[in-house]
A and B are shown apart, each in its own frame.
Chain A
Amino acid sequence: MAECDAEWELCKENIQPLRQGRSVSALHQALCQQQEGNHTALNQQKQAFESELRLYDGDDPLDVWVRYIKWTKQTYPQGGKESNLSVLLERAVTRFTADKKYHNDVRYVELWIEFAEGCSDPMDVYRYMQAQGIGTMQAALYIAWSEEYEKRGNIKMADGVFQDGVKCGAEPVEKLHAFHRALQARACRQMMSSITDQQRDDDEDDDGDEGAAEPQRASLAELKAKGKKKAVVPINRVKASVGYARGLQFKQPLGPRQNSRLVIFDENKASETEPQEPRFEIWTAPPTARAKENEQKPEKWTNVKMPLKSRSGLSVAVPPPKPSFQPFVEEDVQPPAVTPCKINPAVNSVLSSRKPCRPEQTPLKMLQERMQLQTQEDGKSREQSMYCRELLYSGASEFCFEELRAERYRQKHAHRLLSKPEQTHAN
C-alpha cells in the first residue's frame, strides 16, 4: 500500500475532481491498478458493463449507464481518452432523450449536467434541456446553469435562472433557495468589495500595496468634477480593473458594467447581452461535447481546399476579396514603400488567420444523424441497415453479432457455473 500512497502524491494534479468527492480506497485501487498495468481485470470489468448494457431487459436501463459511468470515473481518475468517459456521457445522454420518464430523473439530469460541463458551450446544452423539458423540475439544472452564468459574470441572468426554477417548482425547493441565497450573498459581497476596492484605488493611487482590500465603508458620494467641465465621472472608474487583478479573477466587478453601459431601452433593437428568453425552436438536437481534434472517425473534409503550391514551395493562400468601395487615395501620395522581404507579403501563409471553428456544424450534424437513425425517419434515409444497430454500438465500444450472442450464452449459463465448483472469470 505504501507505493500507492506515493502514487497518489505523484499524480494528484492529474486526478479530476469529482463533485461528490472521491472514495480514497477506490482511488488507491485505481492508481495501483494503473501502476501495475493490470489491464485484464479492468478490461473484463469494462466488458462486463458493455455486455450488461446490451443484454439488460429490465425496467430501468438508465441504471446500467449510471453505474458504468460511475465506475469509469472512479477507475480512471485522470479522465483521459482511454476512459471513454465523454463518449459514454454523450451516448447515455442521447440514448434517453426521447424517453419522457427519465426527463426529470435526478440521475439523468446529473448526467446531462456532467455532459454540459464537458462541452465547449454549456449554455447551449442547458437551453436545449429547458427546451426539451429535461430537468426542468430538478433544482440541479438551475443550480448548474446559474453557476455557469456566474462564471461568466452575468449575475443578473444567474439570478434569473433561479427565479425560473422557483417558478417551475423545481425540487428540492429548499436546495434551490439555499443556492439562490448564496448567489445573492456572493453578488452583494462582490459589489461591496469592488466598491471598496474602487475607493481604495482612488485614495491610494501610488500605493503599490498588493494586499487584500480591507473592508471599508463604501462611499456613495459622487466625485465632484473640478473646473468647468460638467462631465460626471462615474463612481467606478476603469481603475476597478486593478481590483479585477487582485482577487476577482474571472468575476468581473458589477459596478463598472452597471454604470458605464446604460441600457437604454430601444424597442426597435434586440437586447444586446444574453438573450433573455431561450430560443426554443432551433434546438432540434443537443450540441456535442468533444473537441473536434480528438475525433478519430474519418470525415469528409468539407470546405477545406488544399491551397496550390507556388513554385517557391510556399503555399499561396487565397487573398481576401477586395472591398467593394474604392478606398480614398490622395493624389500625390506615394504608394507605401514595401520593405524588402523575402516572403511575398501577399502570401499570408505564415500566420494565417485562425479559421473559425465550427463546433456547431460537424459535431451537431453527427449527433443529428445519430438522432435521425434512432428515430428511423423513413422518407429521408435512403438506406436502412437490417441489423440491430443499437445493440452493437450501445456502449463505448462496438460489439459484433457473435459477441452479443456469446454474452447472452454466457449469462444464461452463468448460474450453472456458479453452482458447480468450477473456475469462473478472474475478477
Chain B
Amino acid sequence: MSLFGTNTGFGSGGTGVFGNTTTDSHNPMKDVEVTSPPDDSISCLAFSPPTMPGNFLIGGSWANDVRCWEVQDNGQTVPKAQQMHTGPVLDVCWSDDGSKVFTASCDKTAKMWDLNSNQTIQIAQHEGPIRTIHWIKAPNYSCVMTGSWDKTLKFWDTRSPNPMMSLQMPERCYCADVVYPMAVVATAERGLIVYQLENQPSEFRRIESPLKHQHRCVAIFKDKQSKPTGFALGSIEGRVAIHYINPPNPAKDNFTFKCHRSNGTNTATPQDIYAVNAISFHPVHGTLATVGSDGRFSFWDKDARTKLKTSEQLDQPITACCFNNNGNIFAYASSYDWSKGHEYYNPQKKNYIFLRNAAEELKPRNKK
C-alpha cells in the first residue's frame, strides 16, 4: 500500500540535487525532493483525484507558472507540463474527473487547463486578484468557484464568459475550501462565511471568528459518514481553531490549539509565534497536517486533541501542503512566504517541494 519503502534511496535528496552537504537544513526530514521545482515561491499544491490512475501533482508559484509532475510508485517525480499566467498563481485545483486543472492568478483571471491537449482557456475574470479556486460537483450542476480580493465570490460555468452567480462578501477573500455541499470562505478583518451548495450556492451562515488574528488558511473536515461537518481555520499567529457547524455542544466541541511556536517550555525568552500557512486533512484518517512560517510541519489528531508529530525545522517557511487521494503521500513546499516583507526575500534561494510517506504517521492516536 505504501508508495515509498523505508529503504528508498531517494530519501537523501532525490535526483538532480547538487551541493548536498550534511549540514544542509533545506531538507532535514530527508524527504523526496520533486525535480524541477518552480523558480519562485510555491503558493499552492494539489494532487490528482482518485478518478485518475496514478498520482499527478500540480504546483502554482509566484513565477507565474503552473507545473505538473507525475509521481511514480518508486518515488521518482517526472515533470510533465507547464503553463503560464501573466501574474503570480495563487491557487490551483482539479476537476473531479482529473482531466482539467483550474488555476487562479493575480492577473485577475482563472484558466482551465486541459491536460490531454495541454491547452488553456480563460474561464473567469474578476476585478482583483483571484485568491481561491475550487471545483464544485453537485448532482444538478458543476462549476468553478473563485474567491477574489475584489470582495466577490463568483461561480463559473466554464463555457460562458459571464458568471453563473456572483455573491458579495464583506471583505476580501483570504482562503476557502469546498467539500460538497459545504463551502467555507475566510475573509479579511476576520470574516468567516459558510455557504451551502445544494441546488445553488447560497450563503448559509456568517460565523464570528474563533480566532483573534488574521485568517490565513481553512480546510473542511468530514465526519465518519464522509459528510462535511466542520472546518479547521488557521491564523497568522500560530493558532488553529476547530469549528463544527452544528455540534451538540459547541462550547465543548469547538476548540483552538496553539501551533508553530518556538520556545515552548522555555519561559524566560519570549515565544516566537509564526503564521500557519496551510492546513490539509488526511483523506482516510481524518487527521490533519499544518505547515507554518517557522519551516515546520505538524500532524494532529483533532478528535484525540493531540499532536502526532512535528518535523524538524527547515531553513525556509513551508508555504503549501496537500495529501494525495489515498493519503499515502504528503507533499509540502519550502519557499519564502513573505511573512517578513520584501527585505527577507532572496530571489537566489532555491524553492523545494518534498514528498513524504504519510501512511503511518497520520494514523489517529486512539483507533476506534
B248 at the interface (CB under 8 A from A): no
What residues on B are CB-neighbors of A384 within 8 Å? Answer: 270-273
Q: Is there contact, CB below 8 Å, between A400 and B174?
A: yes
Name A380-420 residues within 8 Å CB distance of B.
381-388, 391-392, 397-398, 400-406, 408-410
The count of residues in chain A whose C-beta lies closer than 8 Å to any C-beta of chain B is 25
Q: Is there contact, CB below 8 Å, between B338 and A402?
A: yes
A401–B172 Cα gap in the complex (Å)?
13
Determine how close the nearest CB of chain A comes to the CB of B257; give it in whole angstroms.
15
Q: Is there contact, CB below 8 Å, between B272 and A386?
A: yes
Name B265-316 residues within 8 Å CB distance of A.
267, 270-275, 293-294
Query: A382, A386, A409: which has the most chain B beta carbons within 10 Å?
Result: A386
Q: Is there contact, CB below 8 Å, between B338 and A401?
A: yes
**Partner among A298, A378, A400 whose Cβ is within 8 Å of the Cβ of B212:** A298
Determine how close the nearest CB of chain B comes to the CB of A426; give it in whole angstroms.
9
Q: Is there contact, CB below 8 Å, between A402 and B90?
A: yes
B127 at the interface (CB under 8 A from A): yes
A406–B267 Cα gap in the complex (Å)?
37
A303 at the interface (CB under 8 A from B): no
What residues on A are CB-neighbors of B127 within 8 Å? Answer: 40
Residue of B nearest to A40 (CB): B127
Q: Is there contact, CB below 8 Å, between A387 and B236?
A: yes
The count of residues in chain B whose C-beta lies closer than 8 Å to any C-beta of chain A is 35
Q: Mark A33-74, 1 if CB is under 8 A from B, else 0.
A: 000000010000000000000000000000000000000000
Name B139-178 residues within 8 Å CB distance of A.
149-150, 172, 174
Q: Is there contact, CB below 8 Å, between A409 and B87?
A: yes
Which listed segment binds A: B21-29, B94-102, B339-347, B356-364?
A: B339-347
B188 at the interface (CB under 8 A from A): yes
Name B323-368 residues within 8 Å CB distance of A.
337-342
Residue of A nearest to B342 (CB): A408
Residue of A nearest to B188 (CB): A398
A387–B275 Cα gap in the complex (Å)?
8
A158–B342 Cα gap in the complex (Å)?
49
What residues on B are CB-neighbors of A298 within 8 Å? Answer: 212
B70 at the interface (CB under 8 A from A): no
Q: Is there contact, CB below 8 Å, between A391 and B189?
A: no
Given A392-B214, A398-B189, A409-B88, A387 contacting B129 (CB threshold 8 A) = no
Q: Is there contact, CB below 8 Å, between B270 and A383?
A: yes
What residues on A are CB-neighbors of B150 within 8 Å? Answer: 40
Q: Mark B62-96, 1 if CB is under 8 A from A, else 0.
A: 10000000000000000000000001101000000
Query: A401, A406, A410: which has the most chain B beta carbons within 10 Å?
Result: A401
Residue of A nearest to B208 (CB): A298
A404–B274 Cα gap in the complex (Å)?
17
Q: Is there contact, CB below 8 Å, between B275 and A401?
A: yes
A391–B338 Cα gap in the complex (Å)?
11
A391–B88 Cα gap in the complex (Å)?
20
B32 at the interface (CB under 8 A from A): no
B33 at the interface (CB under 8 A from A): no
Residue of A nearest to B267 (CB): A382
Q: Mark B241-283, 1 if CB is under 8 A from A, else 0.
A: 0000000000000000000000000010011111100000000
What residues on B are CB-neighbors of A410 within 8 Å? Answer: 106
Q: Is there contact, CB below 8 Å, between B129 and A406?
A: yes
Query: What are 23 contact pairs spanning A and B, CB under 8 A?
Result: A381-B270, A382-B267, A382-B270, A384-B273, A385-B273, A386-B275, A386-B339, A386-B340, A387-B275, A387-B339, A388-B340, A391-B341, A397-B188, A397-B189, A401-B337, A401-B338, A402-B43, A402-B338, A404-B341, A406-B87, A406-B129, A409-B87, A410-B106
